[in-house]
Structure 1
């Protein structure tokens, strides 16, 4: 392999893309958990306000904290997911450029031999 051979660099970029994909998937899971927390907190707050189960002020404060925590977590993870997706697209573009620099040969299929 020559010094100009980008094969090692392509391998490094592919490893980075895989790591970024794992981060993106983790962000998606946290986003889902955040949405569940917001919905649960809103439901608990509604139940508390309507007085359906006799929960007190502590439940109302807890539900507000759950909603706010969910909103903060959602915003943080959405932002991280966008940045990660941008990094993935940039790495994929760089990988495509490096692959384009490689002198690839066309491999043709050999004719099939019938028995």
Structure 2
């Protein structure tokens, strides 16, 4: 391999893309959990306000904390997911550019001879 051969760099980029994809998947899971927390907190707050649970201030404060925590977590993870997706697209574009610089040769199929 020569110094101008980008295959090692392509391999490094592919490893980075895989790591970024894992981060993105983790963000998606946290986003789902955040939405569930927001929905659960809202439902609990509604139940508490209507007096269906019989509990008072503790349940109301807990539900508000759940809603606020879910919103903060959702915003943070959505932002991280966007940045990660941008990084993945940039890495894929660089990988495509490096692959384009490689002198690939066409391999033709030859008919097999039966012996």
Smaller-chain TM-score bracket: over 0.9
Deviation at 1:56, TM superposition (A): 1.1
Query: 1:6-85 residue pairs with structure 2 within 5 A?
Result: 6-85=6-85
Unaligned runs of 5+ in 1: none
Q: How far apart, CA to CA, are the structure 1 residues paired with 2:109 and 2:42?
A: 62
Unaligned runs of 5+ in 2: none
Deviation at 1:112, TM superposition (A): 3.9
Q: How far apart, CA to CA, are the structure 1 residues paired with 2:43 and 2:110?
A: 65
Deviation at 1:111, TM superposition (A): 1.5
The size of the alignment, in residue pairs, is 115
Q: How far apart, CA to CA, are the structure 1 residues paired with 2:34 and 2:114?
A: 60
1:101 aligns with 2:101: yes
Structure-2-length-normalised TM-score: 0.96
Q: How far apart, CA to CA, are the structure 2 residues paired with 1:105 and 1:37?
A: 55
Q: How far apart, CA to CA, are the structure 2 residues paired with 1:24 and 1:112?
A: 46
Instruction: State the Cα RMSD in Å.
Output: 1.1
Deviation at 1:45, TM superposition (A): 0.3
Aligned partner of 1:87 in structure 2 is 87
